[in-house]
């Protein structure tokens, strides 16, 4: 195939626009922040699960503490009752019984209060553990929100660039002869459509042409469409190719 060298040079513009369009399509479909956002979502799930475990442990301690407080209240009531009975008793043997029971009840209350102090310390630690986990989740949410906002901006910018690049591509493509454009499109659909021959290398695949192939290209007429022996792209020759 033969084509005006000026038309062949337009293929470089098409190739550049296609590369830009491809890059921005990938960015619009999967912004660079997306992977980290997915990681944060998974991290938040694990953190939330751990928060649930810590909250359950705290709730168990709280329930145990309430039961203990109820037991202390029962002991206090019995102490008050026996104290009243002792004060009202005129029977020495009965009074001795009340006194013995009061000693036992006060010992029981001391034991319960010791356990209560231990539980309150455990509850304080459990509250701190829950608060720590909630802070981690809040920080993860904040990071996710910031990255999501950045991703939306990135997608919006890429979409704007895409619209401009597609308009430019349509304009360039309309100025390329139909046969040459069809050839380029067919090659581009499989890989590289066109590349500049520069310093003996194809800019499409960055491969240096063997001397024998380079000589064949250089001997070709300027309007002859030639191809890279490495990637098959149309080799566009300009003044820079000399």
Residue with tokens 């022996």: 229
**Class of domain 27-162 as given by CATH:** mainly alpha
**pLDDT tens across the length of the chain (242 residues):** 999 999 999 999 999 999 999 999 999 999 999 999 999 999 999 999 999 999 999 999 999 999 999 999 999 999 999 899 888 888 888 889 888 999 999 999 999 999 999 999 999 999 999 999 999 999 999 999 999 999 999 999 999 999 999 999 999 999 999 999 999 999 999 999 999 999 999 999 999 999 999 999 989 999 999 999 999 999 999 988 76
Question: What residue spans define the domains of the chain?
Answer: 5-22+175-241, 27-162
Q: How far apart are CA 111 and CA 120, in angstroms?
A: 14
């Amino acid at each position: 195939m033969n084509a005006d060298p000026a038309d062949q040079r337009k293929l470089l513009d098409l190739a550049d626009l296609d590369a830009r369009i491809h890059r921005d399509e990938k960015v619009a479909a999967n912004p660079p922040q997306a992977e980290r956002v997915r990681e944060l979502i998974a991290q938040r799930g694990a953190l939330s699960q751990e928060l649930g475990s810590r909250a359950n442990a705290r709730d168990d301690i709280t329930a145990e503490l309430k039961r203990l407080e109820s037991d202390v209240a029962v002991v206090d009531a019995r102490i008050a009752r026996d104290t009243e009975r002792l004060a009202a008793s005129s029977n020495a043997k009965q009074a001795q019984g009340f006194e013995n029971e009061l000693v036992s009840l006060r010992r029981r209350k001391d034991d319960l209060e010791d356990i209560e102090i231990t539980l309150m310390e455990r509850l304080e630690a459990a509250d701190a553990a829950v608060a720590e986990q909630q802070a981690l989740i809040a920080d993860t949410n904040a990071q996710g929100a910031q990255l999501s906002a950045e991703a939306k901006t990135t997608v919006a910018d890429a979409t704007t660039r895409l619209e401009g690049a597609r308009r430019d591509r349509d304009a360039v493509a309309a100025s390329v002869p139909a046969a040459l454009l069809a050839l380029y499109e067919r090659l581009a659909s499989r890989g590289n459509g066109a590349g500049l021959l520069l310093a003996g290398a194809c800019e499409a695949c960055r491969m240096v042409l063997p001397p024998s192939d380079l000589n064949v290209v250089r001997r070709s007429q300027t309007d002859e469409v030639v191809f890279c022996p490495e990637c098959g792209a149309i080799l566009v020759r300009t003044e820079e190719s000399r």
